[in-house]
Structure 1
Amino acid sequence: MNARVKLKPGQKGTKKLLAQYGDSLVCVRYRYDVEKRKQVKTVELIVSETDWTPPPPKYPESALVPLRVGVTEKALQEQVRVLGGRWDRAQQVWFVRYGCIAGTKLEKLIVVETRMNTAK
């Protein structure tokens, strides 16, 4: 089923649903099933709302974090360069400021070192 139209409350095609659900209505979607030749109207509703505090950032904005980018991933390497990243040949990682990559797909490339204590 393909969703072709997503309407915000108050737009044409949502007025009856807005009257029914009020401020709980988030959006209305019209979905189409080509095989069954059906149009389906769905609604997204708010069912609960609570206060939430986002977790603190993992690193300070100005901290240099190591990124592991593959040798063949030239596009990602260029992205890191544009953000001011520097290659460290000794460690084989890129270093870039955390504030530049926070919330992007590059954040998933941060190298998290886990050292195990092997003392017996």
Structure 2
Amino acid sequence: MEIIKTIRPGHDGSKRYQEKYGEQLCAVRYRRSPCKKTVYTTVEIVVAQREAYVQKRPQPTPQPINENDWVAIKIAFEEIELRNEVRRMGGRWSRVAKAWVAKRSVAKRMDIEYRIVEGLIDQCLDVDI
């Protein structure tokens, strides 16, 4: 059924239903039947109330960190010494992601784990790993 009009409690058209249902009244609605020959008046009332149950979202289980996983590492263009050190340790440049690709253990050994961009390795399709 199609809703033609909704009237909130206290407005014209809802007063007689408010006298009948009081504070339980939420809305008065006029609905048209599918064949469009009949109009129905319906009331929405509160029949019960309770505290809302807030469902806690399950925390995602962290994936175990594998030291042999390849990761993308952001190094600025001006950091020439750091870039050369990553290259000496087996790192490769990804033009697509504009990041250095190396094993997590290399970043850990060089103490640059904070520069790892998680998930960026998926964009490094131009590097053979």
Give the TM-score, by structure 2 length. Answer: 0.43
Give the TM-score, by structure 1 length. Answer: 0.46
